[in-house]
Amino acid sequence: MGRVATVFTHRRPDETRAALVRLVEVARAAGWTLSFTPEETRKHALAPGEGLILDAPVARDADLCIALGGDGTILHGLRAYARTGVPVFGINFGEVGFLATIDPDGVTAGAERALRGDFDVLSLPGIEVSAGKNTWLAMNDVSFHRKQGLRVADLAFSVAEEEVGRVRCDGLVIATPAGSTGYNLANGGPVMAWGVEGLAVSFIAPHSLTARALVVAPQDPIAVRSRSNEEPVDVSVDGRPMCELQPGGRVSARFVGGVGTLAQVQGASFYHRLREKFGRLATGV
């Protein structure tokens, strides 16, 4: 069967349909097979054809993952292929697409480049999040939010078993370097360059004059506790609701190195992306 690439797309199939058709053409010409999960098969109403595997489970032994979408789609690919070494090549069809390596107007050249293996790879860390017996992997962040209509959250967080702070706030975010340009940045938290090891902790609308963001060393585990007597707090992993932090409850987070493999075109450094993505938004260009 030759080499296989798994394809993920975002939730608006009309926006990626033309790109997907072109990707199939490029893959057939290059002798690659494209694999689609049942969700992707239904989303695009795909029919059997040469070089296509439909209604397939995620092939952990794939040679490549191609994501047509924004950062959420790329994060899905990174989680699906965590700890496998399979590169995730992102073509941006999102709002910002900070993790993407190619813009939509470069689909054909980008697909050809991806299938040639003409890219660098960057190893990304993640966050292992645990609550009770449940464990999740975050590539960007884990966030805690007060429930709509309820009182503000009362959150305490500790690092390496030492309580660092307790803040009444709308929430708290723990972010990886890749995730530091997301929710964490919106909170005024520190931007961490790719390659930095550690996690950033920042607050959402803190009711305090002294609450400050913190960068935590990679070997130090973080625990978030609810000091509220009544109100539960919603917990999301990479923007997906996962569980509730009950009054008196605890959620733990720890840095895990080398779990994701992100493809990037040569010369597209973190600082280049930072200028292009956020400079463009700031100037409107």
Q: Which position among 14, 61, 71, 220 bears the catalytic label?
A: 71
Count other C-beta atoms under 10 Å from residue 149's C-beta: 6
Instruction: Tell me what percent of the chain is helix, strand and coil, each rounded to the nearest 5.
Output: 25, 40, 40
Could you please state the CATH topology (level 3) that the domain comprising 126-257 is classified under.
Answer: Tumour Suppressor Smad4 (2.60.200)
pLDDT in tens, 15-27: 999 999 999 999 9
Nearest to 237 by CA among 225, 248, 252: 252
Tokens of 184: 């964490």
The domain limits of the chain are 4-119+265-283, 126-257
Q: Is 71 one of the catalytic residues?
A: yes
Is the sign of the CA dihedral 123, 129, 135, 137 positive or negative?
negative
Mean pLDDT of 208-218: 91
Residues 6+ apart with CB under 8 A from 166: 154, 155, 156, 227
Tokens of 142: 């884990």
What's the half-sphere exposure (Cβ side, CA atoms, 13 Å) at 175? 28
pLDDT confidence of residue 284: 46
The residues pairing with 223 across neighbouring beta strands, listed in sequence order, are 158, 252
pLDDT confidence of residue 129: 97
pLDDT confidence of residue 1: 63
Return the residue matching tokens 């503000």: 152
Distance CA 171, CA 233 (A): 8
- Is the separation of the CB atoms in 54 and 43 below 8 Å? no
Task: Report whether pLDDT(283) > 50.
Answer: no
User: pTM for this structure?
Assistant: 0.90
CATH architecture of 4-119+265-283: 3-Layer(aba) Sandwich (3.40)
